[in-house]
């Protein structure tokens, strides 16, 4: 199917206006999603260049690498992250995220003398482990609450999230909602047909992915 | 009986849960019925294009974009805004309303209305609810009691198909149930412990839901996909399309018109009866008048009252049914988003198979069983237990292969529930016409002025703390309370504004849902509710509609209408 980015945007815009796409053909919608990710990789999306998408792919792959199941890169997670930041994040969060991409590169240069894309997988992992500890500490401090018997604040702290938490969250979301994530990393049956409220579960058995 | 000169025997305004039932019952009783729906047609099954899509088939994985948020300033306030079924929610640019105080109004303007997207929880009211206003001297007394409605609950449950368990609870009557969808092993464990505590007054029971566990004519049993709000390929949950409309059409006596906006009910001042309705074509804006002997107004709570307010204004400036001064008043909802959750560190060798489209229910126990609180009425809980998914990994420390593989396996069982609390009827909570704003079709829009009060505020403490207490008492770990905040409308259980009563001076409708001011006009959706109870209300609308339809058909035969 040949479909341009402009046409995709027009159709997505129609979707956002509550018309056209929903009610359209199921396979067409699927093609658009996959096409949008492929196009983001080859042509970029929003402010993200193909090189940006490649960097996000490697960050995501370092967080969620290939094991006995495919990794984040195979699921086009970098392109998904770029699409989500472009379409969903506020301008302020977008800037934070993009600054964060530079911070990842800078951290890698300082630790290993090369930008992230040129670093070896072990070097990338060591960089990402440090950033993960940093974001975890920052986010835990931000969300701390005094007591289990007092409700959490109804509006979340307005301080911006740590950029690496954004990356990790988008990588997890993008991977585990992808077809690979649902059907290979986890298990998915569109129509289970029956309900067992107490089925056996052995260690290592994978999760069941949810329906959309 | 005189040969009718009307175009139809009955007109039903609205095709949602109540309107679908009115159409079915009236046609099956021999009436020629015109069913009017303001929105577009949605065909059963063919009209559910997203029903089988995986998460990865949505560009934003079923999430929401900034453009969607901008286009849906109300819908974006809570979960309904997402990529999956956006066209089953109202276009807010075409159909605005005014908020004197914040009121989240989630509307579905299409054939089937919110019967396509509803939560399907189905509970009977009891005399604890029907007698509450009278006993407390609040608002007005319901003109009916449980015994009046019980046979009609039987009737609608049998046809709709409600899965549920027999529990013999005085505050939550049993019904004509299909087999329940069982509690899972974690829920069963907690339910067993809870039943032995609190004098047995607090119980976890399987949710009662309008999903089939046994097939019914034309409908298959649930396939445990849990994607109900996208439309069901096997027609397994109750909707207009799956359950009521096919039976109405099968009589050969139903005429269905979509994109037909009823602008007003035509009132015959000499006969003190409605003569019919005026309809605006949503596409062409052409107007047509249809005549009938009775009119059933089932347009959903606020929309039904909105229609009454636009009708017969030359006789009553406040509209048809306004002579009591109560039309538009006593708006209610259920307040919720408040409860507790925790972790069950047991059953590590168990998980569920299949996706159950319901959870558990904890029937009301406050201000009952001899309990007395510093507020009136009470609340029930809806919740579930499940093993944690990959989402838990977001907040966990870790990256790399072992982290990824662990995230792909289930975490421990978690359990949580939110209360649904009764909101008191209050004359000050009202809707009115906004003279300064019109919708796409030139109709003056509704202005909503509604807030919760001190009773609800006091109740919310218990709603939060009681759940934590029950979880801790049953061995649940890491118990945390939550109150995510509530504004009226969020429950999507809007009720009242045309209440039933015993006296035309203080109510809009009588005991058979007839408008006191025009006895051939029936309002049978949530508008009619005299109090809100704390149970999900749709099943009660079904029962009230079926009862009113039978009454109307009998009265027509007797020549009384």
Mean pLDDT score of chain A, rounded to an integer? 84
Contact B508, B314 (CB under 8 A): no
- Please tell me the distance in Å from B118's CA to the nearest CA on chain A: 16
Q: Please check whether residues A68 and A137 belong to one and the same domain.
A: yes
> Can you say how many angstroms the Cα of residue B400 is from the centroid of all Cα atoms in its chain?
46
The reported pLDDT for the residue numbered A11 is: 35
Q: In the predicted model, what is the mean pLDDT of residues B227-256?
A: 98
A24 and A108 in a single domain? The answer is no
* Selected residue of B55, B78, B342, B410 to mutate for chain A interface (largest A Cβ count, 10 A): B55
CA-based torsion, A45, A51, A57, A60: positive or negative: negative
pTM for this structure?
A: 0.93
Phi/psi region, residue B73 (left: phi>0; alpha: psi -120 to 50; beta: rest), is alpha
Can you tell me the mean pLDDT for B381-400? 97
| A64 and A28 co-located in one domain | no
Taking the C-alpha atoms of residue B447 and residue B89, their distance in angstroms, rounded to an integer, is 20
pLDDT tens-digit readout, B258-307: 999 999 999 999 999 999 999 999 999 999 999 999 999 999 999 999 99
Yes or no, beta carbons of B348 and A201 under 8 Å apart: yes
HSE of A41 in the Cβ direction (CA atoms, 13 Å)?
A: 16
**DSSP-H helix ranges across B64-177:** 66-71, 127-130, 132-136, 146-160
**How high is the pLDDT of residue B4?**
42
Three-class DSSP category at A74: coil
Element spanning B337, H or E:
none
B422 band by pLDDT with thresholds 50, 70 and 90: very high
A16, A66, A124: which to substitute to probe chain B, counting the most B Cβ within 10 Å?
A16
Nearest to B321 by CA among B517, B473, B41: B517
Distance CA B473, CA A151 (A): 19
Superfamily of domain B1-163+208-332+426-445+493-561 in the CATH hierarchy: FAD/NAD(P)-binding domain (3.50.50.60)
Q: Compute the average pLDDT of residues B478-504.
A: 97
Closest CA to B518 of B330, B303, B311: B311
For chain B, what is the radius of gyration of the CA atoms? 23
pLDDT value of residue A157: 57
Q: Are B67 and A13 in contact (CB < 8 Å)? A: yes
Confidence of residue A159 (pLDDT cuts 50, 70, 90): confident
Structure confidence at residue A17 (pLDDT)? 30
Domain parsing of chain B, residue ranges = 1-163+208-332+426-445+493-561, 166-207+334-422+452-487
CB contact set of B469 (below 8 Å; sequence gap of 6+) = none
Inter-chain contacts counted by CB atoms under 8 A, chains A and B: 240
User: Residue B340: what are its φ and ψ, rounded to 5°?
Assistant: -155, 160
Of residues A84, A132, A186, nearest to B397 (C-beta): A132
Closest residue of chain B to A174, computed from CA coordinates: B61
**Pair A7, A63 in one domain:** no
A155 falls within a domain: no
Q: Are residues A173 and A98 in the same domain?
A: yes
Residues A88 and A168 occupy one common structural domain: yes
- Tell which of B63, B399, B410 to mutate to test the A interface (max A CBs under 10 Å): B399
Tell me whether residues A212 and B230 touch, CB distance under 8 A.
yes
Task: Please give the pLDDT value at position A34.
Answer: 80
Q: Which helix (H) or strand (E) holds B422?
A: strand B413-422
- Per-residue model confidence (pLDDT) at position A148: 66
Say if A122 falls within a structural domain: yes
Are residues A62 and A33 both part of a single domain?
no
Q: Do A151 and B71 lie within an 8 Å CB cutoff?
A: no
Confirm if B78 and B104 have CB atoms less than 8 A apart: yes
Strands B444-449 and B430-438, how do they pair?
Answer: antiparallel
Residues A91 and A125 in one domain: yes
| A84–B60 CB contact, under 8 Å | yes
For chain A, give the percent of residues with pLDDT over 70.
78
CB-neighbour burial class of residue B100 (10 A; exposed 0-12, middle 13-18, buried 19+): middle
Residue B502, classed as helix, strand or coil, is: coil
Domain assignment of residue A103, yes or no: yes
Same domain, yes or no: A34 and A54: no
**Partners of residue B182 in chain A, C-beta under 8 Å:** 195, 197
Domain count, chain A: 2
Q: pLDDT digit string (tens) for B182-212?
A: 999 999 999 999 999 999 999 999 999 999 9
**A152 closest CB neighbour out of B47, B181, B482:** B482
Q: Please judge whether B59 and A12 are an interchain contact, meaning their C-beta atoms are less than 8 angstroms apart.
A: yes
Residue B547: is its pLDDT beyond 80?
A: yes
Q: Tell me if ipTM is over 0.90.
A: yes
Domain that holds residue A9: 1-43
pLDDT of residue A145: 63
Q: Is the pLDDT of residue B254 over 70?
A: yes
pLDDT band at A158 (very low <50, low <70, confident <90, very high): low
Rounded Cα distance, B561 and B558, in Å: 8
Examine the domain organization and report whether A87 and A168 are in the same domain: yes
Contact B327, B319 (CB under 8 A): yes
């Amino acid at each position: 199917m040949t479909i341009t980015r402009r046409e995709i945007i027009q159709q997505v815009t129609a979707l956002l206006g509550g018309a056209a796409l929903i009610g359209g053909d199921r396979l067409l919608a699927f093609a658009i999603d996959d096409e949008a990710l492929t196009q983001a990789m080859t042509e970029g999306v929003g402010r993200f260049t193909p090189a940006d998408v490649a960097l996000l792919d490697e960050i995501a792959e370092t967080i969620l690498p290939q094991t006995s199941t495919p990794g984040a890169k195979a699921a086009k997670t970098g392109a998904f992250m770029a699409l989500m930041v472009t379409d969903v994040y506020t301008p302020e969060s977008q800037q934070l995220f993009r600054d964060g991409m530079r911070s990842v590169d800078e951290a890698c240069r300082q630790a290993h003398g090369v930008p992230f894309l040129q670093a070896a997988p072990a070097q990338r992992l060591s960089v990402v482990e440090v950033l993960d500890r940093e974001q975890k500490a920052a986010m835990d401090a931000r969300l701390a609450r005094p007591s289990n018997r007092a409700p959490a604040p109804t509006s979340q702290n307005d301080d911006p999230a740590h950029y690496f938490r954004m990356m990790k969250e988008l990588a997890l979301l993008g991977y585990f909602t992808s077809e690979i994530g649902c059907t290979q990393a986890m298990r998915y049956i569109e129509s289970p047909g029956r309900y067992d409220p107490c089925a056996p579960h052995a260690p290592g058995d994978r999760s069941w992915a949810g329906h959309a | 009986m005189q040969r009718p000169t009307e175009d139809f025997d009955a007109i039903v305004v609205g095709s949602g849960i109540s309107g679908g039932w009115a159409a079915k019952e009236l046609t099956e009783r021999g009436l020629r019925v015109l069913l009017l729906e303001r929105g577009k047609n949605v065909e059963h099954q063919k009209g559910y294009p997203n029903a089988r899509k995986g998460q990865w088939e949505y560009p934003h994985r079923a999430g929401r974009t900034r453009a969607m948020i901008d286009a849906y300033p109300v819908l974006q306030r809570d979960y309904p805004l997402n990529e999956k079924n956006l066209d089953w929610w109202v276009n807010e640019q075409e159909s605005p309303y005014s908020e004197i105080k914040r009121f989240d109004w989630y509307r579905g303007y299409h054939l089937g209305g919110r019967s396509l997207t509803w939560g399907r929880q189905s509970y009977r009211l009891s005399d604890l609810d029907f007698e509450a206003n009278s006993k407390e001297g609040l608002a007005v007394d319901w003109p009916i009691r449980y015994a009046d409605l019980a046979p009609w609950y039987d009737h609608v449950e049998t046809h709709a198909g409600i899965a549920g368990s027999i529990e013999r609870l005085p505050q939550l009557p049993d019904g004509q149930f299909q087999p329940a969808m069982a509690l899972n092993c974690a829920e069963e464990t907690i339910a067993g412990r809870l039943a032995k505590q609190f004098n047995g007054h607090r119980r976890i029971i399987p949710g009662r839901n309008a999903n089939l566990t046994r097939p019914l004519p034309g409908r298959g049993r649930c396939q445990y996909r849990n994607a109900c709000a996208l439309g069901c390929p096997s027609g397994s949950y109750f909707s207009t399309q799956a359950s009521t409309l096919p039976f109405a059409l099968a009589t050969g006596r139903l005429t269905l018109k979509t994109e037909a906006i009823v602008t007003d009910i035509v009132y015959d001042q000499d006969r003190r009866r409605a003569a019919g309705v005026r309809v605006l074509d949503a596409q062409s804006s052409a107007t047509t008048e249809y005549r009938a002997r009775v009119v059933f107004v089932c347009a959903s709570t606020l929309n039904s009252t909105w229609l009454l307010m636009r009708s017969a204004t030359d006789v009553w400036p406040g509209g048809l049914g306004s002579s009591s001064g109560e039309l538009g008043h006593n708006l209610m909802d259920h307040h919720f988003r408040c409860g507790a959750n925790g972790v069950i560190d047991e059953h590590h060798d168990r998980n569920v198979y299949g996706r159950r489209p319901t959870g558990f229910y904890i029937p009301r126990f406050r201000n009952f069983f001899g309990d007395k609180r510093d507020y009136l009425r009470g609340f029930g809980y809806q919740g579930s237990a499940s093993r944690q998914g990959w989402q838990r990994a977001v907040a966990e420390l870790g990256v790399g292969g072992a982290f990824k593989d662990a995230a792909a396996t289930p975490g421990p069982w978690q359990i949580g529930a939110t209360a649904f609390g009764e909101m008191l009827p209050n004359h000050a909570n009202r809707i009115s016409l906004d003279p300064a704003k019109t919708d796409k079709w030139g109709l003056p829009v509704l202005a909503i002025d509604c807030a919760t009060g001190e009773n609800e505020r006091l109740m919310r403490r218990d709603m939060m703390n009681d759940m934590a207490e029950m979880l801790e008492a049953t061995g649940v770990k890491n118990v945390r309370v939550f109150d995510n905040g509530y504004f009226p409308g969020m429950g999507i259980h809007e009720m009242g504004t045309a209440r039933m009563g015993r006296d035309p001076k203080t109510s809009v409708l009588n005991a058979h849902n007839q408008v006191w001011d025009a006895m051939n006009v029936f309002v049978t959706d949530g508008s009619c509710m005299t109090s809100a109870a704390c149970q999900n209300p749709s099943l009660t609308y079904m029962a009230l509609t079926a009862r009113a339809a039978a009454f109307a058909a009998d009265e027509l035969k007797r020549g009384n209408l």
